[in-house]
Chains A and B, each alone.
Chain A
Amino acid sequence: MFLDSWSIALVICGLVVFFMMGFAARSAVRVLLYWDPDSDSGRQIKLENEIWLTSTLVECALGVQILSLTVFVLAADHFSGAIVGAMCATGSLLANDFGVPALTVKIGGVFLYGFWIVLHQLDIRSERYPLVRLKYIYLLTLLPLLVLDLSLGMMYIAGLEPDIITSCCAVVFGEAVGGGTNLFAGFSHFLSLLLLYGSTALLFILGGLLLAWRRIGLVVVFGGVWLWFFLLALVVITTLFSSYVYAMPFHKCPFCILKPEYYYIGFAIYGLLFTGAHLGMSVAVTEPLRQVVGLEEVTERFQRRATLWSLVLLALFTAVSSWHYLRYLLLGGQG
């Protein structure tokens, strides 16, 4: 289904990211080969200029990647109008083997590019750019992921078979009719709520401890719990909170909350969750940088800020995502 505006938009997003990251990688190779902070040769000055280009390119690429994640989900929702048995994005993502992997790689990509930007921001705070080599090695390792992202997206679109009335005799009827397809099933309400709110409380405790009294072990646990919380929150939004947003017990879908019918609340929920989780995890990711000469203070300041902001976003996320559920309980519903 390449000849659809949404498919073309996805391909354009993919190509723009690829183009920018390709250029960034070109500079990366040069920097890795010739970088010498002690030199004041013309080449070194040129390279120092080039790192601004690379960082701008990667920042733009991250923006496009976030956009393309949104476009991907909206495109899947749009395709559902043309695919047998698909009622919303869930159905069309499951329509072939590449939908869910493509989505996963895109989500992973957003986090990994984000970590690059954190590294870069820390690096430019120091006069000697101590992280240049690390940054560019990391950038080059991101390239295969990018190729994977682009190819999975293409294979997903290529594999979509639209359901149209053919001119031959009787039509074929798809098996799946209902929209109740669900990515995760079999979680009990009580258990998932307990886990989610338990993890939220744990994150607040860990964050509070980190702000007052920091230890390496604690930092790593904090990042790990954020990763766990991110995955858990995705599951709980899908299996539990979403049906309260739709006010339909059997409609459990992580994507329909992004639609205008529900006032785009999904964008707020996912935006808070992704940013919070990214900040929370980057606290752990940047921990080794505290050993780098010239970055001790900068890193620590960043970690404190990131911890604080991740907790603020966590509180907001909890409020926004639980809002429909709480309102239902307050209005006399039975949980």
Chain B
Amino acid sequence: MSVLARHLNILDHTLSSLWRRRLKNLSVLLVFAGVIFLIASFQLVTRALTETAEQALVAAPEITIQKMSAGRQVAVPLAYSEKLSGIFGIRRVVPRVWGYYFDEVSGANYTVLGLERDRMPASGQLDLVLDQGESPAPGRSGAALIGRSVQQGLERKGGSLLSLFRPDLSMVSFTVAGVFKEETDILTNDLIVLDIDDARDLFLVPEDVATDLCVYVANQREVPTIAKKIADALPDTRVVTRAQIRKTYQVVFGWRSGFASVCLLTALAAFVIFAWDKASGLSPEERREISILKLLGWETRDILAIRLWEGILVAGLAFVLGCTLAYIHVAFFGASLFRPVMVGWSVISPSLRLAPTVQLSQFLLIFCFSVLPYMAATVIPAWSCASVPAESALGGV
């Protein structure tokens, strides 16, 4: 009999034996699928968030300059941008004024961003991400572009004007020129975009400083060199490149998901002990079955093969089930169980739509986390089952 035919027959026997003990096997299957679901959800959320962050960073300036004083970020003088004029390769240096605005009514922090839009390279494309309205002409004061939850807050208050308070509690109002689309929520949900002079007025920031400077570089390959030159020219600043922000995001998300995985390892360990226990506890009927098979001429290795096939089938089914549930959880329910761990828990957290891309490497990772320990836990009990001596059937009859 060929090897294939032998294994097909064994598989046939395994399936019927799995079905006979369906309650025991189903319990293992469900617990295992649950563990895989937890692990896979974390992996898929991490992947989706890293990708979303990468997409968001495409339009970020190549280099951002922040002034540091006593280890804290402070406003950067506009005069600094003149010091950079000698560095070749810099296309443009654009100041930004931004900060957080605490809204007492909703208890939320809005992000207010003041831009000099006529000088920013991609500002013409701002209309593409607007759901309603259009971006005001650059330099026009008194108009704001707002994110969706800012709009919801405004609707609750029942006004059409966005009224904010300066630090001295005097009020300043803006008309709403446009609302950002849902797709850009991760960036724009709590965002208020103003003209830079309006933002200065709101935060009472002096004319000659900005929160940070955005540096646009023509040739991507020159970014590290230019960043180094800037760091030399302006020693009291922190120079952050886009590549570094991306790496930091990856490290942070990787670290968080790694940390979560370590926590899940306890669940995995519990499951491994459970699987070991289930696999090694032989009922008298099972003992008799194995002995009879041996009396009929089956060898230890055939019975071992049955046990291993059982393991493969249970693990395979649980893997498919767990991964499918995890995908549904992440893609359709926004990973609601774990999102606080990954994105934080502020009052307005963006209602993200996560679309995890499915990559083979992700599944390999999940496989290593779940199926390998299961396999290691069941192989020795499988062998001890297989080595039940043939004569032990006689005692039970």
Pick the contact of B360: A3, A57, A177, A260 (CB < 8 A): A260
Quick check: is B261 within 8 A (CB to CB) of the other chain?
yes
Quick check: is A56 within 8 A (CB to CB) of the other chain?
yes
Give the interface size bracket for B toward A. 35 or more
Quick check: is B386 within 8 A (CB to CB) of the other chain?
yes
CA A52 to CA B388, docked complex, whole Å: 13
Nearest neighbor of A20 in chain B, beta-carbon distance:
B376
Quick check: is A216 within 8 A (CB to CB) of the other chain?
no
A162–B238 contact, CB under 8 A? no
A8–B369 contact, CB under 8 A? yes
A5–B257 contact, CB under 8 A? yes
Quick check: is A185 within 8 A (CB to CB) of the other chain?
no
A20–B368 contact, CB under 8 A? no
A167–B235 contact, CB under 8 A? no
A165–B244 contact, CB under 8 A? yes
Nearest neighbor of B228 in chain A, beta-carbon distance:
A173
A67–B368 contact, CB under 8 A? yes
A52-B300, A162-B247, A171-B240 known; A16+B364 contact, CB < 8 A: no
A82–B376 contact, CB under 8 A? no
Pick the contact of B46: A5, A20, A177 (CB < 8 A): A5
Distance in Å from the Cβ of A78 to the closest Cβ of chain B? 8
Quick check: is A211 within 8 A (CB to CB) of the other chain?
no
Quick check: is A316 within 8 A (CB to CB) of the other chain?
no
Nearest neighbor of B222 in chain A, beta-carbon distance:
A177
Quick check: is B29 within 8 A (CB to CB) of the other chain?
no
B368–A71 contact, CB under 8 A? yes
A177–B383 contact, CB under 8 A? no
B380–A170 contact, CB under 8 A? no
Residues in A with CB closer than 8 Å to B360 are 260, 264
Stretch at the interface among B76-84, B248-256, B343-351: B248-256
Quick check: is A94 within 8 A (CB to CB) of the other chain?
no
Quick check: is A210 within 8 A (CB to CB) of the other chain?
no
Residues in B with CB closer than 8 Å to A64 are 372, 375
Residues from 1 to 57 in A contacting B, C-beta threshold 8 Å: 2-9, 12-13, 16, 19-20, 23, 46, 49-50, 52-53, 56-57
CA A160 to CA B387, docked complex, whole Å: 46
CA A5 to CA B231, docked complex, whole Å: 34
CA A317 to CA B175, docked complex, whole Å: 67
Residues in B with CB closer than 8 Å to A71 are 364-365, 368
Quick check: is B60 within 8 A (CB to CB) of the other chain?
no
Distance in Å from the Cβ of B185 to the closest Cβ of chain A? 24
CA A253 to CA B130, docked complex, whole Å: 42
CA A314 to CA B360, docked complex, whole Å: 27
Nearest neighbor of B66 in chain A, beta-carbon distance:
A169
Quick check: is A70 within 8 A (CB to CB) of the other chain?
yes
A23–B248 contact, CB under 8 A? no
Chain B facing A: main interface SS: helix
Quick check: is B396 within 8 A (CB to CB) of the other chain?
no
A170–B235 contact, CB under 8 A? yes
Residues in B with CB closer than 8 Å to A260 are 359-360
Residues from 149 to 186 in A contacting B, C-beta threshold 8 Å: 162-165, 167-171, 173-174, 177-178
Quick check: is A100 within 8 A (CB to CB) of the other chain?
no
CA A261 to CA B238, docked complex, whole Å: 36
Residues in A with CB closer than 8 Å to B42 are 5
Pick the contact of B258: A3, A167, A173 (CB < 8 A): A3
CA A168 to CA B72, docked complex, whole Å: 9
CA A260 to CA B357, docked complex, whole Å: 12
Pick the contact of A3: B240, B250, B262, B308 (CB < 8 A): B262
Pick the contact of A5: B43, B224, B252, B373 (CB < 8 A): B43
Residues in A with CB closer than 8 Å to B236 are 169
Pick the contact of A56: B240, B258, B364, B379 (CB < 8 A): B379
A3-B262, A163-B244, A165-B245 known; A49+B376 contact, CB < 8 A: no
A52-B304, A82-B247 known; A8+B239 contact, CB < 8 A: no
CA A53 to CA B300, docked complex, whole Å: 10
Quick check: is B210 within 8 A (CB to CB) of the other chain?
no
Quick check: is B361 within 8 A (CB to CB) of the other chain?
yes
A–B complex contacts, Cβ < 8 Å, 30 sampled: A2-B258, A3-B255, A4-B257, A5-B43, A5-B46, A5-B254, A8-B265, A9-B365, A12-B372, A12-B373, A16-B372, A52-B383, A52-B387, A53-B380, A53-B383, A56-B308, A60-B375, A64-B375, A67-B367, A68-B368, A70-B364, A81-B247, A81-B250, A83-B247, A165-B245, A169-B68, A170-B239, A173-B227, A177-B224, A178-B221
Among all A-B residue pairs, the 9 with the closest Cβ atoms: A3-B258, A170-B231, A9-B368, A53-B383, A49-B387, A4-B258, A81-B250, A4-B254, A164-B248
Interface residues of A (CB under 8 A from B): 2-9, 12-13, 16, 19-20, 23, 46, 49-50, 52-53, 56-57, 60, 64, 67-68, 70-71, 74, 78, 81-83, 162-165, 167-171, 173-174, 177-178, 260, 264
